Amino acid sequence: MKQTLAHGGWHSTITATDVAQTATRPGDLIVDGLDVYVSESRPREAGRAAIVKLLPVRPLPPPEEVLPSPYSARSRVHEYGGGAFSVRGGSLVFVNDSDQALYLRGTGERPRRLSPLLGGGQRRFAEPVIDTLRERVLCVVEEHSAAGREPDNFIAAVGFGSRTGRFEVLFSGQHFYSSLRLSPDGKRLAWLSWRHPRMPWDGTELWVAELDGRGLPRNPERIAGSASESVFQPEWDTHGALFFVSDQSGYWNLYRWDASGRKPLCPRPADFGVPQWVFGLSTYCLLPDGDLLCCLTENGTWRLGRRSHTTGDLRLLDLPYSEYGTLRAAPGGAVLLVASPTMSTTLMHFDIQTEQLSSLRGFGAWAASNDATPTEAAAARFSQPVAIEYPTSDGTRAYGLFYAPVNPDYQGPGDERPPLLVRCHGGPTSQATTGLNLRTQYWTSRGFAVLEVNYRGSSGYGRTYRDALRGQWGVAEVEDCIAGALYLAHRGLADRSRLCISGGSAGGYTSLMALTFHDVFAAGAIYYGVSDLSALARDTHKFESHYLDGLVGPYPEKKDLYTERSPLFHMDRLRRPVAFFHGSQDKVTPPNQATAMVAAIDRKGLPVAFLSFPEEGHGFRHAETIRRTLDGEYYFYCRIFGITPLSEPEAIEIRNLGAASQRG
C-alpha cells in the first residue's frame, strides 16, 4: 500500500551518493584483435580515466586494468577531449591527463613518454593512430606556445621504437583537425578539417592524401564537405573505399566514396551522426561480412540498423533498447554502448549471426546483466520517459521527454500537482536521450516531475531544426523551455506555481535567461553557466571562440545584442531565487561568469546560493562534487518551496532566504 504524501518530500532509496558513486562514464572504445578496450571516467577516483581490457567470450573472464594509477587517459584538445588512446598488437598509446603528453605502454611494461617536451608551452594530443609500419603515431596536436595567442592545431607524427623522440608536422593551415584514418594498406590518410567561425556540425571538409615512401602526405584531395556541409566519421573498408556521414541532404546520412565517386547508401530523413563535441565518436561500423551496422535517430528516437552490402537495404532491428553509440567492429560482430529507460549504459557485443546483444561491462548500478534484459524491478522503480511534442513560438513545434513522479512507496494527494524541474541540456547543440539517468530518477523518486527539453538547436531532428537556433540563442530555446513547462501545467501534470529550471554550460545560460527575462519559473539552478556573453566571447577557449558568431552574431559588431542577451546586465528584471555551482578550473565558462552574477543577486537581496569547487573544471567529475551539488540543489528547492523532506539533504548556505517571498 502506497503512502499518500505531498510531492517533493518523498523518501527515496536513490541518494545523491548513489548517483555520484555510480556515475562512472564510458569514453573511448577500441578493438585490437580479440580484445576490447574501454576507458571509463571514475568519480570515486577523482575523475581518473582508467582503461579496462575485456575478452568478449562466454563465460566472461575478469576485466583487466591496463593503465596503472595515477595515469589517466584523457585528452584536453578542444578542452572537451575524447580520442585519448589507441591499441595495436597489445601496445597501448595514450594521452596522460596531468601533462597531456603521449605515452606508450608495451605488454608488461611501465608507460614511457613518447612526445618531446615543448619549451615555454604545452602540446596536447588526441586521436592517436598507430602506424606500426613506420614506427610512429599519427595524431591531432593542439600546441599552446604563448600566453594570449590562439593555440595552433595540426596533424603530426610522433616516433617510437627506432624513431623515438622524432616529431614531424604533416599537415597545418586549418584551424581544426579531427578523425584521422589510415587506410588498411597504409598508403592513404583521411581526415576532417574546418575553420573559424564554423563548428564541426556547421561545416567540415573531408580530405584524402597519398603517403609517399617516407610516409609524408602528397596530392591531398577534398572529397566532401564545405562551409555548409557537415561531414562526420570517415572509415576505410578493406577494399580501399571510404565511408562517411554527411548532412548534404539536410540529415546526417551515410555515403561511400571510391574511384567512381560519391554514392549515398540509404537516404532517409534520419540522422546517422551526432555533433562532434569530442574526438573518437562512432555511430556506425563495417561488420566482418561487409554489412554495415549503424545507429540512427528519427524525430529524436534512436534505433540500431543493419545495411546489407549485397542488396543495399537498411533493416531496423527489433531490440528492447533506446540508445546506441560508439560502434566498433569486433570478432563475431561488433561492440557498442547501449542504454534504455530501465538500463544504464552497458557495453555490449552484437552477434552477427543471431543479431542479439549480450552484456560485457556495465556502467552504473542498473546496467544489464549477462542476459542483457532490463529487469521488471527496474521498470517498476523508475519513471519512464514519455516523448512529447508541443507548440512553441512562431507556430513551430518543440520536443521533450517528460518523466512523471514515481516511487513504489508513495503517491501524491489527488488534488495536488507535483513541482516540475525543467532540465536544459548543454551544447546547445546536444540532445536529451532516453537512457536511464539516475540524476533524473533522483528527482522523480522524491515526487518531482521532470521535463528534459530538446529545444530548437538540438541535434537528432535534422539540420533545419539544428539551425533554427542560429542568431536566436537566448531567445528561441528559452521560449521552448517555457512553452514545455506551461504545456504540462495546463494539462494538469505540474504545479504552475512550482516550476523550476536547471542546466549546465549552455543549458545554464538558457536557465538563467528564462529566470531573468520571464516570470514563469519560481527558482532555478545554474551549473557552470553563462551570464555575460561579451565576456564569454572574449575569454573562452579556441574551439568555441567563434561559436557565438552563429548563435548570436559576430562580436564586437553585435556587442549591443550581446549585452541585450546577458542576464548580468538586466538585474532589474530578475526576481527569482537562483543557486550556482561552478568549478574554479573551468576554461570553457570561466568562474567569473558565476561570481559576478552571485554578487549582483546578493546586492539585490534575492535568495542566492553559490558553491565553488577548486579541483573541478567544465563538467563535474569528482564523486563528492556530484553528491554535494545534487543534494544542494534539492535543499535549495525545498527551502524555496517550503517542502519538508522525509530525508533531509545536507544544507547549503542560502543568502537572503527571507526574501523568498518575493518570488511571487
For 378-388, how does the pLDDT look when each residue is reduced to its tens digit (9 = 90+)? 667 899 999 99
Q: In the prediction, which pLDDT does 662 show?
A: 42
In angstroms, the CA 394 to CA 222 distance is 39
pLDDT of residue 661: 44
Confidence grade of residue 267 (pLDDT, cut at 50, 70, 90): very high
- Residues 6+ positions from 606 with CB-CB distance below 8 Å: 574, 575, 576, 577, 578, 656, 659, 662
Helix axes 476-490, 506-517, angle to 10 degrees: 70
Grid coordinates representing 636 are 535549495
Mean pLDDT throughout 288-302?
Answer: 94
Banded model confidence at residue 366, pLDDT cuts 50, 70, 90: confident
Overall average pLDDT of the 13-40 stretch: 93
Asked whether the predicted pLDDT for residue 369 surpasses 60, the reply is no
Is residue 543's pLDDT more than 90? yes
- Which residue range(s) make up the domain with 643? 382-663
- Domain assignment present for residue 618? The answer is yes
Residue 583 within a domain = yes
d(C-alpha 230, C-alpha 614), whole Å: 37
More confident residue, 71 or 394: 71
Residue 370: pLDDT above 50?
A: no
Assigned domain for 127 exists: no
Per residue in 21-34, pLDDT tens?
877 899 999 999 99
Sign of CA dihedral 251, 256, 260, 261: positive
Per-residue confidence (pLDDT) for residue 108, from 0 to 100: 84
Give a yes or no: residue 403 inside a domain.
yes
pLDDT of 565 > 90? The answer is yes
Q: Which residues pair with 525 in a beta bridge?
A: 502, 579
**What's the confidence (pLDDT) of residue 371?**
43
Q: Please tell me the predicted confidence (pLDDT) of residue 149.
A: 87
Residue 376 is predicted with a pLDDT of 61
Among 157-166, 266-275, 350-359, 654-663, the minimum mean pLDDT is found in 654-663
480 located within any domain: yes
CATH code, 573 = 3.40.50.1820
- pLDDT category at 101 given cuts 50, 70, 90 is very high
Is pLDDT of 618 > 70? Answer: yes
Is residue 374 pLDDT above 60, yes or no?
no
Assigned domain for 419 exists: yes
Looking at residue 414, its pLDDT comes to 93
With respect to residue 507, please indicate whether it lies within any of the assigned structural domains: yes
pLDDT number for residue 664: 39
Which range has the worst mean pLDDT, 16-20, 38-42, 402-406, 544-548? 16-20
Which three-class secondary structure string do you get for 470-481?
A: CCCCCCHHHHHH
Q: Give the number of other CB atoms < 10 A from CB of residue 212.
A: 11
Residue that has been written with the C-alpha cell 517555457 in this structure? 482
Average pLDDT of the segment spanning 143-154: 89
369: left (phi over 0), alpha (psi -120 to 50) or beta: beta
Question: How far is 531 from 525, CA to CA, in rounded Å?
Answer: 13
Q: Average pLDDT over the chain, rounded to whole?
A: 94
Q: Does the pLDDT at position 50 exceed 50?
A: yes
- State how far the alpha carbon of 609 is from the alpha carbons of 331, 439, 590, in Å: 52, 20, 18
Q: What is the pLDDT of residues 443-502, one digit of tens each?
A: 999 999 999 999 999 999 999 999 999 999 999 999 999 999 999 999 999 999 999 999
CA distances from 124 to 48, 143, 583 (A): 18, 6, 22
Question: Residue 377: its pLDDT value, please?
Answer: 65
Spatial neighbors of 118 by CB under 8 A, at least 6 apart, are: 143, 145
Strand partners, 229: 226
Query: Average pLDDT in the 224-243 region?
Result: 97
pLDDT class of 364 with cuts at 50, 70, 90: confident
pLDDT of residue 167: 95
Q: How many domains does the chain have?
A: 1
Residue 659's pLDDT band, with cuts at 50, 70 and 90, is low
Give mean pLDDT, residues 178-204: 97
Structural domain includes residue 644: yes
Cα–Cα dist 448/638, whole Å = 11
State how far the alpha carbon of 148 is from the alpha carbons of 542, 546, 628, in Å.
11, 16, 35
**Alpha-carbon 408 to chain mean position:** 31
Average pLDDT over residues 634-640: 98
**pLDDT value of position 663:** 41
Q: Is the pLDDT of residue 319 over 60?
A: yes
CB 447 within 8 A of CB 426: no
Percent of the chain, pLDDT > 90?
A: 88
pLDDT at 352: 97
Give the rounded percent of residues in the chain with a pLDDT score beyond 70.
97
